[in-house]
Amino acid sequence: MTVVGPFGLSVWDEALEADIQAGLAAVEEGLLEATKSDVPFITETARHLLKAGGKRFRPLLVMLGAQFGDPHAPKIVPSAVVVELTHLATLYHDDVMDEADVRRGVPSANSRWGNSVAVLTGDFLFSRASHILADLGPEAVRVQAESFERLVTGQIMETVGPRDGRDPLDHYLEVIAGKTSSLMAVSGRFGAMMSGAGEPVVDILTQYGERIGAAFQLADDVLDIAGDGHETGKTPGTDLREGIPTLPVLHVRRLYAQAAGGVPADHRRLNELLDGDLTDDALHAEALELLRAHPALEQARRDTVRYADEARAALAPLPDNPAKYALAGLCDAVVHRTA
């Protein structure tokens, strides 16, 4: 058994391990090449988050999906570079929108060089992804364009919030389907598609990516509350401080609204804090402590497991092989990760 990547993914097959490792190494080289500019400053900013590390989860999905066709087909690595470049670009833009100070354990690009440079660097990465994508064919361009539309739509929906009368939890799940699941789905789709796998396999891996993408984001929500900042590379409770209503917070509000009476004092206090300004360090620390002890956090964990189980179930029609077992194992790795 070999552990591949920061997720603790267990791979039991030597040939599969070799393909994944070689593929991810080639993706890393492709990312370095794609972030190189004739302008040294642009190279520095474009490689800022690349050098900070990252899970390379989306390229991993591409590599595993490719195992159901020809895993050495020439378009597999470039398609993995495209999805990771797109993801990296969104991080630059997200940090500007969130006014984040830290990303992947290093100063965010916006805190180091300012918002304008961060936004333009994200745009530069999008342009490089598009350049590579053009060589992958019109179907790949269409798939990526549809995914990007979903991604941006999800970001806008998060920014404006739920419309009147809309369940905030349903709204949030639709947001993460756009912001996170869309690109995960493309990763599974590209892996199968570029390897020449049949359309049924392409559809299965697209659905798998959609569901594990949701599990991935919900696990992030749990980590934002329960995680160790030294392991995650992020300050605990960042979303909480910024007033972003992630899954645990939404469950707090739902449970509070449904309570017929006799709400414990600490639950009432937490609800009051969530309605207030949590930029104050003392109030933020109090809210974080109360939320960590609240049943809503465990409910959020159960939701994460449910989406991961749905991802695993989607794999059922695929032939039994090491790649299928690895994809199933990835469902557990996502749920139980610590970073």
Mapping DSSP onto H, E and C, the string for 16-40 reads: HHHHHHHHHHHHHHHHHHHCCCCCH
Residue 94 has pLDDT above 90, yes or no: no
pLDDT at 12 over 90: no
CB contact at 8 A, 86 and 144: yes
Query: For position 99, what pLDDT does the model report?
Result: 67
pLDDT band of residue 338 (cuts 50, 70, 90) is low
Is residue 296 within 8 Å of 197, Cβ to Cβ? Answer: no
Look at 264 and 81; give whichever has higher pLDDT. Answer: 81
Least confident of 2-11, 35-44, 232-241: 2-11
Helix, strand or coil for residue 323? helix
CA distance 232 to 261: 37
Per-residue pLDDT for 122 more than 50? yes
Confidence label for 237 from pLDDT (cuts 50, 70 and 90): confident
pLDDT over 70 (residue 232): no
The residue ranking higher by pLDDT, 195 or 258, is: 195
Average pLDDT in the chain = 88
Residue scoring higher pLDDT (160 or 210): 210
Which range, 115-119, 205-209, 232-236, is most confident? 205-209
pLDDT surpassing 50 at residue 2: no
Contact 234, 102 (CB under 8 A): yes
Q: Residue 106: phi, psi to the nearest 5? A: -125, 160
* Per-residue pLDDT at 108: 75
More confident residue, 1 or 57: 57
Q: Is the pLDDT of residue 120 over 70?
A: yes
Nearest-CA neighbor of 75 among 32, 37, 26? 26
Structure tokens at 91: 């991080």
Query: Contact 283/307 with Cβ under 8 angstroms?
Result: no
pLDDT at 3 > cutoff 50: no
Mean pLDDT confidence for 55-61: 93
Q: What percent of the chain has pLDDT over 70?
A: 91
* Terminal Cα-to-Cα distance of the chain (whole angstroms): 22
Q: Which band of pLDDT confidence, cut at 50, 70 and 90, is reported for residue 10? A: low
Structure tokens at 208: 């798998």
* Among 176, 232, 296, 200, residue whose Cα is nearest residue 54: 232
- pLDDT score of 6: 46
pLDDT of 146 strictly over 80: yes
The pLDDT, as a whole number, for residue 51 is 84
How far is 324 from 311, CA to CA, in rounded Å? 12
User: Are the C-beta atoms of residues 12 and 1 closer than 8 Å to each other?
Assistant: yes
The CATH code belonging to domain 10-336 is 1.10.600.10
Q: Return the number of other C-beta atoms located less than 10 Å from residue 238's C-beta.
A: 18
Confidence of residue 1 (pLDDT cuts 50, 70, 90): very low
